[in-house]
Structure 1
Amino acid sequence: MYHWSKSEERLNRYAGRLEGENLSFLVHYWGTVQHLTANSIHRHSFYEICYVDGGTGIYTDGDQMYPLYEGVAFCTIPGRLHQIKDVDGLNLLFVAFEPMERPSAQEVTVKYIEALQRCAVWTEHASDSPAIQIWKSMLLRSESDTSLPASLLPKLAHVLLQSFPGLFGASGSFESAPLLSSALQLVQKAKLYIRDNLGGPVSLPEVAAYLNVSERQLSRLFAESIHESFSSMVRTERIRAAELMLQHTRDPIKEIAERTGFSSVHYFTRLFTKFKGIPPAAYRARWALEADLHE
């Protein structure tokens, strides 16, 4: 019914950065996988929503276990240890993302995050929900002429992510949810500052001074809120920004390395290759080839 691998490639190509008037998202990856294999216990610094389109398995969240079968959706919040195991023919749709905070619409963003934090971990009978119907509509169908054009994917993906709190039973809409805790608000502000200043040597003292907190407090907030060190977060943001530039610009790799704050193009190439499994130039070439194949 679906072209699974091609659907995944197309979503990752066209629905990575989702801009909205008051709420925007950065998608780390989309997945549309047939016969997913089990994975080890791990955690993320972002949100991940999954939908089971067939097969069975077990999802663990902390010390809780949830059955997986067709029609089930489940939500992983940042920092939570989780695992998929005991799989049998498991077909899974998944998306990993985080809201992008904007100073002009900060309240909307933090309320959306709070709504996700209050979501149920697991829900069944999701196949007929508006969210899952939107998700499936974005996939490439075996009958190519029935698939939606790629130009619609960003808008549909934005609506999908915006609808996730309702899918998991968060009461009311995120527009009226209580504000995020002050600790998590500080972490969100720190991440936004890092993203806006990647071209320079962003340091813990600099960000702490900007937020008017101690270096020790900021370091502890990162460790407790998203289970990631400050230096690791900066490195992740540099790689992510470089990845987007490789995808959407023709800027020289040396210039991208400089604009994302790497000390040299050689260091950038080595670190990018380590985290992405492919050198920057090869990554850009592969991305361009995949884009040409699906246009």
Structure 2
Amino acid sequence: MSSKLTLNQYANRLVQYGSAFHVHYWGVMPKHYDNLLHKHSFFEICYVLDGKGSYIDETTTYELEKNTMFFSRPEVLHQIKSEEGLALVYVAFELINSESSEEWNKIMKEAEQCSEIVINVEEESTAALLWKSLLIESKKNEKAFFEEMLTNLSYSLIVSLLQAFVPSLKKDNHNSSPETSPSLLNVAKLHIKDNLSGSLKLTDVARHLHISGRHLSRIFVSELGISYSEFVQNERVQRAATLLKTTDLSIKDIAEETGFTSVHYFTRVFTSALRHSPGRFRSLYTDLKETTYKDE
């Protein structure tokens, strides 16, 4: 029971990666018997650790057993029944729409319409392991960074649970979940910045990240508001500007170093972005440095 109290104290507001969740409650129930037919204004997901029973969603009855998870959606009448008692852990939550991205709002709208609401999971599944890890870690409140660890685990669990039920998240599995998009974006950005001299085709970078080109493109638009090609071009121009300011490399060498196919193309793109040709940009910066130095 200490796990439940700790989680309700520390893990009730989870904000990460463009989403904000309010957790109404975490629960641990060693023996859950019958309850009344009722509904919530929020989502609730339960995980059966042991026992047998049934879950009634509107007029449909589902059998429950060990390693079953079931999904109660907002405004849907439901009921749990068990003669012998179910060992349950559960979490009730909702998205804070005004603090979450459009993508997350769409996902939660889709979650309200889920047709598969009872699933059987392996004990080694991500969601099951995260839930067990969360219960274990919640008892270790003497550890450094305890609250940070608890909220990160809690957020990961909720995303993993949604991934198990929401159709669009299940299709791409680990590659397209909102939880992984930001980390994928960071890896993609680092790869681009470290390899600007290469071609950096969308399909090649996506293959390097083990995702589809379409998914990589979608991440850049949803997270940064610009296309993949725009980001790459911006990075090339910014790196070129840095090299012009800090090195004596020729314009041709800088064009090659930043992945432009010709000096002519480099000059055209650079001038369009910064309103000065590479040569003019370098001379203006050199003049500015000399003037500043003399004034001092």
TM-score by length of structure 1 reads 0.52
Counterpart of 1:159 (choices 145, 152, 156) is 156
Q: Work out whether residues 56 and 90 of structure 1, in 8 Å CA contact, stay in contact via their aligned partners in 2.
A: yes
Q: Where does structure 1 lack aligned partners over 5 or more consecutive residues? A: 178-295
CA RMSD of aligned residues (A): 3.0
Query: Residue 113 of structure 2 is aligned with which of 117, 130, 136?
Result: 117
Q: How many residues align?
A: 173
Could you tell me which residue of structure 2 aligns to residue 48 of structure 1? 44
1:39 maps to 35
Residue 136 of structure 2 aligns with which residue? 140
Deviations 1:221-268 (A, max 9, x none): xxxxxxxxxxxxxxxxxxxxxxxxxxxxxxxxxxxxxxxxxxxxxxxx
Q: Runs of 5+ in structure 2 lacking a partner?
A: 178-296
> Shift of residue 169 of structure 1?
5.8
How much has 1:53 moved relative to structure 2?
0.2
Give the superposition deviation at 1:150.
4.3
Alpha-carbon shift at residue 82 of structure 1 (Å): 0.5
Residues 129-182 of structure 1, C-alpha deviations (whole Å, 9 max, x = no match)? 1012111101138996999944311111111111223212624359989xxxxx
2:70–2:117 CA contact under 8 A, matched in 1: yes
Tell whether 2:16 aligns with 1:8. no
Q: Which has the larger radius of gyration?
A: 2
Residue identity opposite 1:165 in structure 2: L
Q: 1:30: which partner in 2? A: 26
Output the CA distance in 2 between the equivalents of 1:101 and 1:55. 36
- Deviations, residues 58-109 of structure 1 (Å, cap 9, x unaligned): 1101111111111100001011110011331310010000011136722332
Q: Which has the higher contact order (CA 8 A, sep 6+)?
A: 1
CA contact (8 A) 2:46 2:70 kept: yes
Cα deviation, 1:176-233, whole Å, max 9, x if unaligned, reads 89xxxxxxxxxxxxxxxxxxxxxxxxxxxxxxxxxxxxxxxxxxxxxxxxxxxxxxxx
2:157 alignment partner AA: L
Aligned CA distance change for structure 1 residues 15 and 170 (closer, same or farther; 3 Å): same
User: Does the CA contact (< 8 Å) of 1:166 and 1:173 recur in 2?
Assistant: no
Q: Secondary structure at the match of 2:63?
A: strand
Post-superposition offset of 1:120: 1.2
Residues 46, 88 of structure 2: 8 Å contact kept: yes
1:61 to 47, 50, 57: 57
2: CA distance, partners of 1:17 / 1:91: 26
Which range is displaced more, 91-100 or 148-157?
A: 148-157
- Distance, in Å, in 2 between the alignment partners of 1:103 and 1:142 is 27
1:55 is aligned with what amino acid?
G
How far the C-alpha of 1:125 sits from its partner, in A, is 2.8
Query: Could you tell me how far apart the structure 2 residues matched to 1:59 and 1:34 are?
Result: 17
In structure 2, the partner of 1:207 is: none
Q: Is residue 116–residue 165 contact of structure 1 (8 Å, CA) maintained in 2?
A: no
Checking the alignment, whether the CA contact within 8 Å between 2:48 and 2:64 is kept in structure 1 is yes
Hey, what's the Cα distance between the residues in 2 that align with 1:142 and 1:104? 26
State the 1:127 CA deviation.
Answer: 2.6
Q: Secondary structure at the match of 2:5?
A: helix
SS in 2 for 1:83: strand
Give me the whole-angstrom Cα distance separating, in 2, the residues matched to 1:84 and 1:112.
24
> What TM-score, normalized to structure 2?
0.52
